[in-house]
Structure 1
């Protein structure tokens, strides 16, 4: 029982974490980009330090080479002058400087390797950060669209929209007052017998209750005949 409760609790926490991740995905993306940029700046500073140290070591090595060459020339001149004592002292100094030169050479080789690897890593990191920024732009656009769609979806089902639709349908469904007045007139005529009288007059049974265009035309023609 306890194991089941623990499993359910872990599942609920996982779902809650997923919901939070979905809700704040853009903020999390921005934070990860900031962290990546901070790491990139730190690595770039480290690279600058290594390059600076490499230049110091390189200048020191060049200085040693110059000193070794100068002392070698002097030692050879001492030997030529039968001053082996001075040449021996020069040889000892040259040996020390050559040993130091070898150490500095190994240091330079190590620095060269570190700088090359770090430059490569920085180049990759820079490209990834650029890709992340572009991806974040797309993610923001998608997130804005989804939020807008959710707002539209919720707005389409709100009571206000439903009430507005109902009012529109009510207005559109109202009776036409003019048509209603005509119908009422017809009903009134039927009630007082006017409609029946009209139908009988039009059928030739008695005088029509209304003047027709044909009656007017016949009267005009008859009047013209009388004048002639």
Structure 2
């Protein structure tokens, strides 16, 4: 049981860590790009150092080649004058310088290999960084668009909620007004019953009791008076 609990805790810690990484993904990516750019800068610095050192050894080799050419001319001149021993000494010097030249040329060749390898790595890294930055730009644009869409959706949801609440409030007002209207009509009816006006209205409607004078009745009465006179 304890092992299961520890496993669950490790799983929870992993999920929490992953959630933090996910929430900071773009920030982490930006930092990783900056780190890669720093490494690229360091590589270019190292390339410049190698190229400088290669140039030094190349200059040494060129100097040795020049010196060997001069000595070979000197040895030839000594032989022409019959200075065999002198020519031999010059030849020995040429051998020593040639060995030094071979060493310098070997070093220069190794520098050339390292420089070309580093140059290739720098080119590849620059291409990858350029492509990565382009992709990050697209990702950031998509992220911004999605945040905007999320905000619009949230506002739309809020508006729908507000409209629903407003409609509910309007319906409650209408119900209250209908109730108030019914109560006022009931009060008027009770008042009419108490005063007797409601009873007179009902008798009048039944044709009982006093009725309203009509124009025809008045005209008939005037005609009757005129005929009597």
Q: Give TM-score, length-normalised by structure 2.
A: 0.70
Aligned match of 1:128: 128
How many angstroms apart in 2 are the aligned matches of 1:155 and 1:10? 39
How many angstroms apart in 1 are the aligned matches of 2:3 and 2:84? 90
Where 2:138 maps in the other structure, the secondary structure is helix
Where 1:55 maps in the other structure, the secondary structure is helix
How many angstroms apart in 2 are the aligned matches of 1:84 and 1:174? 130
How many angstroms apart in 2 are the aligned matches of 1:42 and 1:120? 15
Give 1:19 deviation, angstroms: 0.8
Aligned residues: 184
Tell which structure's C-alpha radius of gyration is larger. 2
Aligned match of 1:43: 43
How many angstroms apart in 1 are the aligned matches of 2:168 and 2:48? 74
Give 1:154 deviation, angstroms: 4.3
Aligned match of 2:74: 74
How many angstroms apart in 2 are the aligned matches of 1:145 and 1:93? 77
How many angstroms apart in 2 are the aligned matches of 1:172 and 1:118? 78
Unaligned runs of 5+ residues in structure 2 are: 175-197, 206-213, 216-229
Aligned match of 2:64: 64
Aligned match of 1:167: 166
Alignment of 1:78-227 (within 5 A): 78-157=78-157, 162-167=161-166, 170=169
Aligned match of 1:34: 34
Q: 1:172 to 1:119 in 2, by over 3 A?
A: farther
Unaligned runs of 5+ residues in structure 1 are: 176-190, 197-205, 208-228
Residues 32-89 of structure 1: per-residue CA shift (max 9 Å, x gap): 1001101100111111111111222112111111110011100111122121232122
